[in-house]
Structure 1
Amino acid sequence: MALPAAFHDIAKRVNNWGRWGEDDEIGTLNLITDEVVRAAAGTVRRGLRVPLALELKEDGVQTGMIPGRVNPLHVMVQVNQELFGPGTVATSDDAVTFGLQAATHWDALTHASHSGRIYNGRPASSITPHGRSAFSGIHTARHVVSRGVLLDVARAKGLDRLPGNHAVTPEDLDEAAEFGRVTVGAGDVVLVRTGQVRQYLAGDKHGYGYPSPGLSVRTPEWFHARDVAAVANDTLTFEIFPPEIEDLWLPVHALDLVEMGMLQGQNWNLEELSTACAQEERYAFLLSAMPEPFVGGTGTPVAPVAVL
């Protein structure tokens, strides 16, 4: 089924192809300038560090809904092995196999395509089984350190968690920004809290994934208008699931990643950060969220930390 005209209308309004040159591979990360990072460092007052990643473990968030996206399969390949003979120093080593988007992660710009294209108008056929992503692989996103802004949509509404059928709208984002007394600006990394990860943390990983609140197809224009560098939230699918528009699956992925060239992150644990920001009465902070540089990867695990 072809994407509807309404989708293409939004795509035209948020499109960034060519904005940073025809050879650009990092999209809105170009908005994280030296000046932005210096200003972000100035938000640190206490040095309070808040981790935002879920644990990587064999019984993690993946349920098999997405074929091949497996939770970490962790094996020991050495256990107290004396490599250089009896009585020498012993070492232990391990190995892991898992989906790069298995837990807390960034989606690379190549994670989604539509109409045969990826970001900056390149052909989707440039992603191949053995060559992986020839352009805009996650290894090109070399620096994701900026001002982070928590838009705590759930707390702004007086809720622990948004209902499963709640599509987060631009109006919700405005409400959360006003609640946090923060103005989203160029180069910011926006974290949108729905509270949905509470389902997973409580042991209900099937309920965590479906049904799930998430971003509305209307939100890409909100982020585009503010020159946001990246967006992450605390859900499995990022956007509302099942979709708000019948049979229009993953439109926000296509608008963010393909049209805007904006990294998006999923499965971020924003619960401790929500509490910390409420206690500190401030919702902006220094955020370090460096991608693991898997060459050609369409995504990567990340262990983000907010510093207040």
Structure 2
Amino acid sequence: MTVSRLSRVIPGLAALSLFSALFSAQCSAAPQAEVGVSPWGPKDEIGRLNLITEQSRAAIMARVNGSQAYDLAVDYYVGMPSWQAAGDPPYQMWMTHTPHGNVIADPMQVGEPMNRHVSYTGSAVSMYAHMGTHIDALNHFGLNGKIWNGFRADQHLGDRGWNVTGAEKLPPIVARGVLIDVAAAKGVDMLADNYRVTRADLQQALKAQQVSLEKGDVVLIRTGRMRDYEKAQAYMANPPGMSLDAAKFLVEEGGAMVVGADNLSFETFPSEVEGNYLPLHTYLLAMQGAPILELVNLEGLSRDRVYQFAFIGASLKFRGADAAPIRPIALPIR
């Protein structure tokens, strides 16, 4: 029984109390999801990125045709789309030094003639780690006080971040990349607000593209949302995203190593899983050890119908952090 239906039957607090009791009973009766235990051993901190091997890197690079390089990253700019619902800060950039300011302030104490001769520009930025094109580390979400491989927050999280699974542990990613262009397969520029991509949607798009998934792929889903990136409010409002069944298809059947999309949260809202407001993040990061790429610019690949490529990306090594910016590129393959 839903909250809205209860509210019609029993007004006010009585309905809320009854719903709370029913929900608590359901939670206590149903088995709780638990974090995954790594098949790569008790010290593993990178999860499915262990699928990268010397052989897999060499195999995909041997297929690069050199025709073009696609930049899959977005620009960072003041006013850019960003997650602020939980109180996280927006992107800020300010000048710390300007040529004309240095003439007046003379911060290096070199004198006015030198400052007029040698111009000096400096800047600083402040941002939430989950902004722009970025990769979620495995400590970003967990379950019941634990993250991937059973690492506990009360044992491994300090005032300067996690001492396990931090963004600095993510290795450079060199792997086969696959674009699944769901929007194009449905004949639209952009999926509708809050559209939840299904397993069938992914299978339909793959069939239309004549592409099959392979173990160790970096799989990127295009919803078309990137077309609104320069309009932050439109980009952020009611984004489409993946269903849990679609995510399970990618990892458990398709063998994906990393998954990503052109939206901000990979999943969409409201949650389809009772008792978990971000079920895809907990499933992928905490249970499967699969990093998530968000805000990936897939418009160029879609335009040129490039569905298979060498994916190359290395994120910034933010020690102990739960995410970091990444500048991925796609190189078409033979």
Query: TM-score surpassing 0.5?
Result: yes
Q: Which amino acid aligns with 2:258?
A: A
Given the alignment, which residue of 54, 62, 80 partners 1:42? 62
Quote the offset at 1:290 in angstroms. 0.9
Distance 1:94 1:31 in 2: 39
Distance 1:186 1:258 in 2: 19
Given the alignment, which residue of 19, 33, 39 partners 1:19? 39
RMSD across aligned positions (CA): 2.5
Q: Residue in 2 aligned with 1:190? A: 219
Structure 1: gaps (5+ residues) = none
CA contact (8 A) 1:126 1:133 kept: no
Q: Residue in 2 aligned with 1:242? A: 270
Distance 1:245 1:121 in 2: 22
1:275-294 counterparts in 2 under 5 A? 275-276=303-304, 278=305, 282-294=306-318
Q: Residue in 2 aligned with 1:74? A: 93
Q: Residue in 2 aligned with 1:213? A: 240
Equivalent position SS for 1:218: helix
CA contact (8 A) 1:212 1:242 kept: no
Quote the offset at 1:101 in angstroms. 0.8
Equivalent position SS for 1:44: coil
Quote the offset at 1:43 in angstroms. 3.4
Distance 1:99 1:89 in 2: 34
Distance 2:41 2:156 in 1: 21
Taking a change above 3 Å as real, the CA distance of residues 6 and 181 of structure 1, as seen in their structure-2 partners, is farther
Q: Residue in 1 aligned with 2:15? A: none
Given the alignment, which residue of 274, 283, 289 partners 1:261? 289
Quote the offset at 1:294 in angstroms. 0.4
CA-to-aligned-CA distance 1:195-230 (integer Å, 9 cap, x gap): 1222334x2x22322312111111332113332110
Paired positions, count: 298
CA contact (8 A) 1:181 1:283 kept: no
CA-to-aligned-CA distance 1:3-34 (integer Å, 9 cap, x gap): 9699968x57xx75130000000000001112
CA contact (8 A) 1:167 1:244 kept: no
Normalised TM-score (structure 2)? 0.81
Equivalent position SS for 1:207: helix
Quote the offset at 1:240 in angstroms. 1.4
When structure 1 is superposed on structure 2, of 250-259 and 73-82 the one drifting more is 73-82
Q: Residue in 2 aligned with 1:55? A: 75
CA contact (8 A) 1:126 1:135 kept: no
Q: Quick check: which one's helix share is greater?
A: 2
Equivalent position SS for 2:244: coil
CA-to-aligned-CA distance 1:161-180 (integer Å, 9 cap, x gap): 11123211222121222222
Equivalent position SS for 1:29: helix
CA contact (8 A) 1:116 1:125 kept: yes
CA contact (8 A) 1:210 1:241 kept: no
Distance 2:29 2:199 in 1: 17
Distance 1:63 1:226 in 2: 29
Quote the offset at 1:91 in angstroms. 3.4
